[in-house]
């Protein structure tokens, strides 16, 4: 078994992208050193390991740094492929898993800026943001269909890519006074099923802690 | 090679479609090219890519695969004959994917920004950002190629296809704006790679001539504004 020092994850606790790696490493039973970054005071290690984007998460494995969360996820899945494989083995199904994980990331900018408008916005713009936000999750709900998980009977690549964002749902709902469950019941049911899995629930912060962080952010931005 | 039923929905001028054409050629896969009309999208496109409604779409035995980078990886995995498109080593793969993402998400959008920028000052500002990116790419090429002719090593690989497919449009932009985007004095290794890539047997009939792309762009602008 590899020593803990060989696998290091540079992370930031409320980051949905960091949560992805925590889940994958937990599912595969990989021990690693978790290093918390202060994004307002980035460490020399982070700046060195991700000199192009200077962002977390970064996985450092045997001295090599891997950046960009979906790329890290594929790397983890390939290196430790015998333990809880996340990507399906059939090429067509793999292509679909990659497509939907990529969709989540393409929409992230929208979710992030839309999400930001949801928890920090007001009035008409907030309403518009809520609508856009729900549409993205409705599309994903459509892709889930009647499956237990996006990966079928077990968690797959898309499940791990998506479930971290659900830890932010309570914050969006509370700030903007709406119920994501009412609009996307199947998706919320899926999220609850994921949370029954220890590797997921241990990797995600409690939604109330995210909410406290959001309130802090709002205060910092002068929006409370 | 008998590859099953393979069709590619696209337009010859799209660099993202060119990526798929190159990958299919690397693997010697014959396919039927279905020309799409981007000004009046077909039922086939809208049905097979309802999420983005964009080309390319690869059909394998009638099943659609969308997004050029997803398609490249599919081709690499489904038809394992001929040289590998992606590296087999997980770390080398991750590096190729990283730079492919950088190209698609950061660098090429700057070229589009350059096209849309109005006035010399605005254009110069975007060019500066592109030049910064070029230095990163030059460094990346030297590191990844390890003295070999391509990012993929001895033969064209994933990153060669991802970046190389864009060269036609980059050069078209150079013509339209009368600027040098790929400055061989600042990026000598990449400039040599550019020549090597564009003259390669597999690539040379696929990447359109920049002058033709300028023509296409001007015609598209006309029709677009006429509507």
DSSP H or E segment with residue A35: strand A33-36
Asked if residue B56 has a cis previous peptide bond (ω within 30° of 0), the answer is yes
The answer to whether residues A154 and A87 touch, using CB atoms and an 8 Å cutoff, is no
Q: pLDDT tens digits, residue range B90-128?
A: 999 999 999 999 999 999 999 999 999 999 999 999 999
Q: How far is A209 from chain B (nearest CA, A)?
A: 32
Band of residue A1 on the pLDDT scale cut at 50, 70, 90: very low
Q: How far is A103 from chain B (nearest CA, A)?
A: 9
HEC-encoded secondary structure of chain B: CCCCCEEEEECCCCHHHHHHHHHHHHCCCCCEEEECCCCCCCHHHHHHCCCCCCCCEEEECCEEEECHHHHHHHHHHHCCCCCCCCCCCHHHHHHHHHHHHHHHHHHHHHHHHHHHCCCHHHHHHHHHHHHHHHHHHHHHHHHHHCCCCECCECCCCHHHHHHHCCHHHHHHHHHHHCCCCCCCCCCHHHHHHHHHHHHCCCCCCCCCCHHHHHHHHHHHHHHHHHC
State the CB neighbour count (10 A cutoff) for residue A157. 26
Q: Which chain B residues have a beta carbon less than 8 Å from that of A96?
A: 65
Q: Which chain B residues have a beta carbon less than 8 Å from that of A94?
A: 73-74, 77
Which two structure tokens, joined as six digits, stand for A86?
């996340």
Q: Which chain B residues have a beta carbon less than 8 Å from that of A74?
A: 93-94, 97
**Strands across the sheet with B57-60, in order?**
B32-35, B6-10, B57-60, B63-66
Q: With an 8 Å Cβ cutoff, are A68 and B97 in contact?
A: yes
Torsion angle of C-alpha atoms A110, A111, A116, A122, degrees rounded to 10 = 80
**CA torsion sign, B167 to B173 to B175 to B181?**
negative
DSSP H or E segment with residue A66: strand A64-67
Torsion angle of C-alpha atoms B101, B45, B169, A108, degrees rounded to 10 = -30
Q: pLDDT tens digits, residue range B124-182?
A: 999 999 999 999 999 999 999 999 999 999 999 999 999 999 999 999 999 999 999 99
Tell me which of A49, A72, A99, A108 to substitute to probe the interface with B (most B C-beta atoms closer than 10 Å): A99
Average pLDDT, rounded, for chain A: 92
Which two structure tokens, joined as six digits, stand for B25?
């050629």
State the CB neighbour count (10 A cutoff) for residue A35. 16
Backbone φ and ψ of A135, nearest 5° = -60, -40
Q: pLDDT tens digits, residue range A157-168?
A: 999 999 999 999
Rounded to an integer, the average pLDDT of B10-38 is 96
Q: CA-based angle B13:B15:B17, to the nearest 5?
A: 85
Q: CA-based angle B153:B79:A91, to the nearest 5?
A: 105
Which two structure tokens, joined as six digits, stand for A140?
């994903």
pTM: 0.94
Tell me which of A6, A59, A91 to substitute to probe the interface with B (most B C-beta atoms closer than 10 Å): A91
Q: Tell me, what's the ipTM? A: 0.94
Q: With an 8 Å Cβ cutoff, are B98 and A71 in contact?
A: yes
Out of A61, A91, A102, whose CB is closest to B74? A91
Backbone φ and ψ of B48, nearest 5° = -85, -20
Q: pLDDT tens digits, residue range A160-200?
A: 999 999 999 999 899 888 899 999 999 999 999 999 999 99
pLDDT of residue A100: 97
């Amino acid at each position: 078994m590899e020593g803990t020092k060989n696998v290091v994850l540079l992370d930031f606790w409320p980051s949905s992208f960091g949560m992805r790696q925590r889940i994958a490493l937990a599912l595969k039973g990989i021990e690693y050193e978790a290093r918390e970054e202060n994004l307002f005071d980035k460490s020399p290690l982070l700046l060195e390991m991700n000199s192009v984007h200077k962002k977390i998460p970064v996985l450092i494995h045997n001295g090599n740094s891997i950046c960009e969360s979906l790329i890290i996820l594929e790397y983890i899945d390939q290196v430790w492929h015998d333990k809880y494989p996340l990507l399906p083995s059939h090429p067509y199904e793999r292509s679909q898993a990659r497509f939907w994980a990529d969709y989540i990331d393409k929409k992230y900018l929208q979710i992030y800026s839309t999400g930001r408008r949801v928890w920090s916005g007001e009035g008409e713009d907030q309403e518009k943001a809520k609508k856009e936000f729900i549409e993205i999750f409705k599309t994903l709900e459509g892709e889930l269909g009647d499956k237990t998980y996006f990966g079928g009977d077990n968690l797959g690549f898309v499940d791990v890519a998506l479930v971290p964002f659900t830890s932010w749902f309570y914050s969006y709902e509370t700030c903007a006074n709406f119920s994501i469950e009412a609009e996307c019941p199947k998706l919320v049911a899926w999220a609850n099923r994921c949370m029954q899995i220890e590797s997921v629930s241990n990797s995600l912060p409690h939604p109330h802690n995210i909410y406290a962080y959001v309130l802090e952010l709002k205060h910092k931005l002068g929006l409370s | 090679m008998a590859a099953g039923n393979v069709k590619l929905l696209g337009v010859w001028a799209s660099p993202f479609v060119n990526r798929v054409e190159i990958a299919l050629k690397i693997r010697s896969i014959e396919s039927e090219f279905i020309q799409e009309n981007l000004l009046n999208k077909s039922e086939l496109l809208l049905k097979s890519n309802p999420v983005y409604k964009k080309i390319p779409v690869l059909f394998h035995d009638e099943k659609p695969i969308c997004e050029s980078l997803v398609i490249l990886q599919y081709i690499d995995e489904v038809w394992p004959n001929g040289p590998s498109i992606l590296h087999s080593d997980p770390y080398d793969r991750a590096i190729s994917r990283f730079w492919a993402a950088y190209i698609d998400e950061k660098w090429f959008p700057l070229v589009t920004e350059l096209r849309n920028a109005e006035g010399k000052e605005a254009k110069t500002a975007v060019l500066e950002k592109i030049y910064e990116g070029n230095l990163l790419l030059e460094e990346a090429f030297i590191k990844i190629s390890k003295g070999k002719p391509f990012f993929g090593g001895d033969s064209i690989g994933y990153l060669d296809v991802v970046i190389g497919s864009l060269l036609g449009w980059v050069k078209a932009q150079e013509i339209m704006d009368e600027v040098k985007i790929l400055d061989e004095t600042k990026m000598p290794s990449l400039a040599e790679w550019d020549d090597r890539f564009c003259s390669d047997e597999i690539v040379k009939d696929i990447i359109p001539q920049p002058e033709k792309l300028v023509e296409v762009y001007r015609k598209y602008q006309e029709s677009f504004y006429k509507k």
